[in-house]
Structure 1
């Protein structure tokens, strides 16, 4: 199973014993939408609600930080996920948050395979495909989380990288947030970007039908931002959500020496001691 699956493919797999569908919708702070209410109103048949904003470490003051292995195991078992499950993650969000759900499932070794539904619920609905309502109670699964820390970068890693520049940093936020022209959505947070990073807004990865760009069209996004495909990459964003889109895009292009800065700008921008840059990329 590829990391992207089509709506046609999923329609043909609905109801198979090993298929598990997970809604990973998430909205930015201040967005007047309720992911759970929307899920209960209409979701892909058989889907479970991930509740991505709460799938985080509750004892960490930084927003949306990765949960413990035990927390991840418990949530995934509640969702009915098994060790042999083929997991399909989708969203109904302008942040395309399914990529974060996909990355987390992969990071913790959940299921036999994990993929993102290309186009998400938006494309599914546009094609007139079926939905169901309510909040399901799936049979408890047996998935067990195993954490892979080498795939995650910390603030300390990023500070060290300021001197070595061994890894490229790609920021998925909007151009206005990256440059510092637009205020951050979280109170008290500085504007700008990590010095030396480059910007590829995550919204540019999607076509009009909500599907993800692929092939040369996708590669061009990275090349136009000055990406060197021969060097390792760290992806970043506001809180580690859209950074996963860049990571998925790079994997589609065959590049796997890519990690994600989980704290992202929510951590960096709130720390008065970290250096900040404004304006365009260097």
Structure 2
């Protein structure tokens, strides 16, 4: 793969830059409750040297009833300052699944106007499999100011997505597994209807990954989007269960050079809860 410090970097790249003074590493592991994993406990037991733990559920909008919605700018800035992450830093985000929740944090940084942020390809499992170093103590952070320029174009709300669904533009692409998209499998969150946003396409995020949970090449991921009926010359809104794996699709699009994308932050946790918006089932 080609390392790009604005999208995706390899474990080799990270190992080479591990001692760079302006590198900041974030462990953004997050799991569905059914997986029975505690990301903070796993971080405390072992993490990449120098990594800070980024709590997706805590660094969010506490005013929203929806899970881990993007935090207000002030909250993001204060949390990053406390973690010692700010202007002039190269950020690398990883997770314990390979590539699953780390792109969500990559998207959050992009939403806040930060460009120098990349996801670690293959994440912590690949780092461990290669016998690379870990530690069990958190670093001692030093405050660093972060200049935030919120990028409205990278996020969409339910009203905007409803318009897109009616008009068929921008295209909506759903990252959930095919059986959830079709409405054949129950949603992991209670009280949600089964199915998908009408006129949306399905690109399960796992199809964009290799067996070792690294991301397929930009050429391969582009073909997967095209095979799902996505026109890559047109804008795309990515969606999923709660706005986490939708960011995997966004990262894949960005690597392909498709920069006209946005993420539906509420995703199915919001759409599936509203009785007033329509739901489609099957492959339609």
Task: Tell me the TM-score normalised to structure 2 length.
Answer: 0.95
Q: Aligned in 2, Cα 1:60/1:158: closer, same or farther, shift over 3 Å?
A: same
Matched, 1:120 2:123: yes
Tell me which residue corresponds to 2:192. 189
User: Matched residues in 1 for 2:150 and 2:65: separation?
Assistant: 20
User: Matched residues in 2 for 1:62 and 1:7: separation?
Assistant: 34
Which of 34, 38, 45 is residue 41 of structure 1 equivalent to? 45
**Conservation of the 8 A alpha-carbon contact between 2:98 and 2:214:** no
SS of equivalent residue, structure 1 residue 53: coil
Question: 1:94 offset after TM fit, Å?
Answer: 6.3
Tell me which residue corresponds to 1:218. 221
Instruction: Provide the aligned C-alpha RMSD in A.
Output: 1.3
**After TM superposition, which residue ranges in structure 1, 4 or more long, deviate above 3 angstroms?**
none
User: Matched residues in 1 for 2:129 and 2:55: separation?
Assistant: 24
Deviation string 1:142-172 (CA, Å, 9 cap, x unpaired) is 1133321121111000111233212111000
Matched, 1:230 2:233: yes
Task: Tell me the TM-score normalised to structure 1 length.
Answer: 0.96
Q: Within 5 Å, give how 1:89-108 maps onto structure 2.
A: 89-93=93-97, 96-108=100-112
Matched, 1:136 2:160: no
Matched, 1:260 2:263: yes
**Conservation of the 8 A alpha-carbon contact between 1:29 and 1:186:** no
The runs of 5 or more residues in structure 2 that have no matched partner are none
Tell me which residue corresponds to 2:31. 27
Tell me which residue corresponds to 1:270. 273
Matched, 1:80 2:78: no
Tell me which residue corresponds to 1:150. 153
**Conservation of the 8 A alpha-carbon contact between 1:5 and 1:117:** yes
SS of equivalent residue, structure 1 residue 156: helix
Tell me which residue corresponds to 2:8. 4
Question: 1:230 offset after TM fit, Å?
Answer: 1.5
Deviation string 1:39-59 (CA, Å, 9 cap, x unpaired) is 010100000001112111011
SS of equivalent residue, structure 2 residue 119: strand
Aligned residues: 280
Question: 1:134 offset after TM fit, Å?
Answer: 2.7
Tell me which residue corresponds to 1:169. 172
User: Matched residues in 2 for 1:84 and 1:147: separation?
Assistant: 17
**Conservation of the 8 A alpha-carbon contact between 2:103 and 2:247:** yes
SS of equivalent residue, structure 1 residue 190: coil
SS of equivalent residue, structure 1 residue 52: coil
Matched, 1:241 2:240: no
Tell me which residue corresponds to 2:67. 63
